[in-house]
Chains A and B, each alone.
Chain A
Amino acid sequence: MAETTTHVAEPTRRDFLYIATGAAAAIGGATLVWPFVQSLAPDAATVAAGAPVEVDLTPIAEGQIVKVFWRGSLIFIRHRTADEIKAAEDVNVASLRDPQADAARVKEGKPQWLVVYGNCTHLGCVPLGQQGEYKGWFCPCHGSVFDTSGRVRGGPAPTNLPIPPYAFMSDTKVIIGQEATA
């Protein structure tokens, strides 16, 4: 091998210290970002306010939709008529954008009670009840259409109206915010 006049300098202890200092500063800085970002999360009071709410179903007439709030989110409780239940069940599930059978969206033996979140899955507006092509809901903001099971049937909404966790305490009382424990 020919001798060269230039040679690569060996890393020195100073180079190591520069890199170590820089790395410590970068990691420290990144770590300090965490509490700032985390402070934006729903705070303890908001989480605590998310305790389950009980709703008495007796005053809800057949065909009526009632709005309640849980954790600040709007929830529809719909007392469905026999026709509405039939319309929801007589659907070719495979043809839906977000395929889900009606039976999977209500509690067993209680097909007349539909409990869904009340904000459109597109951009969060409140759809209007008993309207639209399927007489379920119609969102006035961007034209999403939902059927009597709260499933998306048209418009820009990507998914069905989600089902919040809830359970029947008795035939006339539901608790929203917790699943049945039994």
Chain B
Amino acid sequence: MSQHPTTYVPKSAFGQWFESRLPVAGLVHSSFVAFPVPRNLTYFWTFGAILAFMLVSQIVTGVFLAMYYTPNAGMAFQSVEHIMRDVEYGWLLRYLHANGASMFFIAVYIHIFRNFYYGSYKAPREVLYILGVIIFILMMATAFMGYVLPWGQMSFWGATVITNLFSAIPLVGETIVHYLWGGYSVGNPTLNRFFSLHYLLPFMIAGVVALHIWALHVPGQNNPTGIPIKSGKDAVPFTPYATIKDIFAVVVFLIFFAYWVFYMPNYLGHADNYIPANPAVTPAHIVPEWYFLPFYAILRAIPDKLGGVLAMGAAIVIWAFMPWLDTSKVRSTAYRPLYKQFFWVFVAVCLVLGWLGSRPAEGWYVIASQICTVYYFAHFLIVLPVLGFVERPLPLPNSILESVMGVQKGGAGMPVGANAEPQSKG
């Protein structure tokens, strides 16, 4: 935001008076109007906007749900049914919020794997990327605590299993778990504090998102070629080009979102969560929400409590080290023929891990989880560092413009002005 000087001058006298006192319009103008965007961005670059929309959507639906929900172990389940049956449009608010969490994670996983594919995490975007990892961890914590609030069987036992992860810590584990619970088991104090934190964390996410966007506006966006903007011809202004494209993508995503909300609102949930929490009986097949399944499979793959917990944590934390684990000088996988294959194997391994996480922990499922877990870590610790040395990347285009328009030979075959800076076109 500070890197690209704004020439913005408000037209109205009031605008100029205000701008000289609080230059917020200029900030918006330089960040979201005049900001140069690579001209070759694909729809994979619209997921940032989709995620921003989902965060707002979750906060708005959540604030309203909190008006009708009662965070008390004796009343929570009933109050959720009250929302579903008695509150005007309560069913819609709740289904938007519950399915919205899943949509949020679908969008964030596409956003993350787009970043992996095009090497967006590499210098100079390391801080931007690590802020993203922090947002993802905050999202996981928020989603987990939100899932506890309806106080059904899956809520209760999900809370029990996840909080018990901390009991794996040597010596102080038990005490930490009692402090998390506010008692000697998951109970009313646990529900109370989870509600408080579930309300708090989205605003912390919003804060980190602001830093994430700020950090994005220093180097600017990566693009499918991975090479930086070298001249004005490589870029288009954010408005209208990116603005309209982002809005269109959000609308298409909303159609997808609406399909879940209106046609199968409970498909991504678990029937067991419509049974009130019962501390004496664990559901026969306890599985987390789909977006945690790959990590859950890694947890169960390790036949040791502390080891499993550490592996699950490491599976996420290792992302933060990618900028330094990946030794390749080339950002975009489009120019990395070997890595392209490893990338898709990695995607497949993550999907298989997700499927294995939904299976019972027995027989060959466990062995398959172990093989996939080893490969998951090998991708980061072996493939990424070694490929940078042994791979011969394809030749990079000289510029973003060249990648879009082809190599220029004196303008033959191209109308005059076709490669001019778009903002200069009539």
- Residues of A whose CB lies within 8 Å of any CB of B are 37, 40-43, 46, 50, 67, 69, 71-74, 118-119, 121-126, 139-143, 155-158
Contacts and interface: CB of A to CB of B under 8 A. Distances in A.
A125 B183 CA distance: 17
Given A46-B189, A155-B303, 17 more contacts: A41-B179, A41-B182, A42-B181, A42-B182, A50-B184, A67-B280, A71-B183, A121-B305, A123-B165, A124-B161, A125-B157, A140-B284, A140-B286, A141-B282, A143-B361, A156-B305, A156-B308
A143 B280 contact: no
B189 A43 contact: yes
Contacts of A121: 305
B172 interface: no
18 contacts: A37-B179, A40-B180, A40-B193, A41-B178, A41-B179, A42-B181, A46-B187, A73-B185, A123-B160, A123-B164, A124-B161, A125-B161, A140-B284, A140-B285, A141-B282, A143-B366, A156-B304, A156-B305
A121 B306 CA distance: 12
Interface in B317-371: 360-362, 366
A143 B117 CA distance: 37
B369 to A, nearest CB: 11
B94 interface: no
A45 B184 CA distance: 12
**Which residue, of B157, B162, B163, has the highest number of chain A Cβ atoms within 10 A?**
B157
B5 interface: no
A72 B187 CA distance: 8
Contacts of B303: 155-156
A43 B182 CA distance: 7
Contacts of B283: 140
Contacts of A50: 184
B180 A69 contact: no
Interface of B: 157, 160-165, 167, 178-185, 187, 189, 193, 279-286, 300, 302-306, 308, 360-362, 366
B160 A124 contact: yes
B285 A42 contact: no
A46 B184 contact: yes
A126 B181 contact: no
B305 A157 contact: yes
**Residues of A contacting B: mostly:** loop
A54 B184 CA distance: 19
A141 B279 contact: no
A142 B182 contact: no
Contact of B362 (A40, A72, A73, A143): A143
A126 B164 contact: no
A126 B280 contact: yes
Nearest to A140: B284
Contacts of A74: 185, 279-280
A135 to B, nearest CB: 17
Nearest to B287: A141
A54 to B, nearest CB: 19
Nearest to A139: B282
A98 to B, nearest CB: 12
Contacts of A42: 178, 181-184, 189
Contact of A73 (B157, B161, B165, B184): B184
B286 A125 contact: yes
A71 B185 contact: yes
A180 to B, nearest CB: 22
A139 B285 CA distance: 10
Contacts of A43: 182, 189
A72 B305 contact: no
A141 B165 CA distance: 14
A69 B279 contact: yes
Nearest to B308: A156
Contacts of A156: 300, 302-305, 308
A77 to B, nearest CB: 13
B281 A126 contact: yes
A175 B182 CA distance: 25
Residue from A43, A69, A126 with most neighbouring chain B CB atoms (10 Å):
A126
Given A67-B280, A72-B187, A140-B286, A158 B304 contact: yes
Nearest to A42: B183
B90 to A, nearest CB: 31
A115 B295 CA distance: 35
A118 B179 CA distance: 20
B183 A46 contact: yes
Nearest to A142: B361
Contacts of B185: 71-74, 119
A50 B183 CA distance: 10
A73 B304 CA distance: 24
A29 to B, nearest CB: 20
Contacts of A158: 304-306
Contacts of B193: 40
A40 B181 CA distance: 8
A71 B184 contact: yes
Contact of B286 (A46, A71, A141, A157): A141
A155 B360 CA distance: 13
B327 to A, nearest CB: 36
Contacts of B178: 41-42
B312 to A, nearest CB: 11
Contacts of A141: 157, 161, 282, 286, 361
A71 B182 CA distance: 12
